Amino acid sequence: MSAELLNPMRGILLKLLSVVFFVAMQTCIKAVGDAAATGQITFYRSAFAMVPIFSYLAYRGALRTAFATANPAGHLKRGVLGIVSMGLGFYGLVLLPLPEAIAIGYAMPLLAVVFAALLLHETVRVYRWTAVFFGMVGVMIISWPKLTLFQSEGFGSLAALGVLAVLASATLGALAQMQVRQLVGSEKTATIVLYFSLTAAVFSLATIPFGWPHLSWNHATLLIASGFLGGAGQILLTESYRQADVSTVAPFDYSSILLGIAISYFLFDEAPTLTTIIGTVFVVSAGIFIIYREHKLGLERRAAREAGAQRV
């Protein structure tokens, strides 16, 4: 994207709006709680997200071409990883305070750095490895009190299960990111988003035999709203990256913890613990440092290309 087409302030605004929509989505799901099965939640979230996504693609005139793909197996793999990650994340969200679920979920971009090095053989230098280490220390600071390793409940406690579910969700989410990075070489963004929503909705239906409880009108409305909010959030996120560089808008993703703390306090009567605050500082600092390093390395690579072009 050429520099003259970028609008950083608009990109930041769209990014912040996407954060608001995603946290609102999480709030709806947490408000439903255990009144719905996890597969039921993922179905509503995925199926109703397609309404704003289809509308957006139709508005851009990209709906017809969005279904064209040269890699259906890649989309299936990304869909399976994504839907399991989503389900585990929602399960953990129901069991944990909202700020803790959000903060532990920040492990995903840290793990993405690890998987990029191991699976994609990307060069990761000591600065980013150090940031990943400190970020994971922050995740452990948040998680440790919930794991209750030295108490009689052990890993059987609901809080411990919530932590493990969110960590597993972050791990699978990072693997899904690796699959997306491979798909973008040949697939359009609209195609990736569309096939993920379709795959997630279909796979969620497979959980019906495990039992979907009857939902009240209030709970059904909240889950439908979560789908609309999630789909709209994805659109806003995509548009934010059209308006500004990733390094400009990505740090604003961490504003979700502030919004999560406020919503958790006023709606669910949950206040963040000291360990959550300390751990979040570690995780957010590590994430922002990784974004900074990516931006700096990108500038260095661009300068090297320009210097090479001038010599030619």
79/187 Cα distance (integer angstroms) = 14
pLDDT digits (tens, 9 = 90+) for 83-118: 999 999 999 999 889 899 999 888 888 888 888 888
Q: Over the stretch 132-157, which tens digit does the pLDDT of each residue have? A: 898 889 888 888 877 654 455 544 57
Average pLDDT score over the chain: 84
Instruction: Say which residues have a Cβ less than 8 Å from residue 146's Cβ, sequence separation at least 6.
Output: 96, 100, 157, 159, 160, 162, 163
pTM score: 0.84
Q: Where are the domains of the chain?
A: 3-311
Measuring CA to CA, which residue among 17, 2, 3, 4 is closest to residue 239?
17
For residue 180, what are its two tokens? 């997306």
Give whole-number Cα distances, 241 to 10, 54, 207, 244, in Å. Answer: 10, 19, 34, 5
CA distance 155 to 149: 7
In whole angstroms, what is the distance from residue 238 CA to residue 254 CA?
17
pLDDT for the residue 204: 92
Measure the CA angle with vertex 124, ends 121 and 125; round to 5°: 145
How far apart CA 115 and CA 282 sit, in angstroms, is: 20
Q: Which of 7-21, 223-237, 291-305 has the lowest mean pLDDT?
A: 291-305
pLDDT higher at 3 or 66? 66
For residues 282 and 141, the answer to whether their CB atoms sit within 8 Å is yes
For tokens 């569309």, the residue is: 194
Coil, strand or helix: which one is 148?
A: coil
Percentage of the chain with pLDDT > 70?
A: 88
Evaluate if residue 65 carries a pLDDT over 80: yes
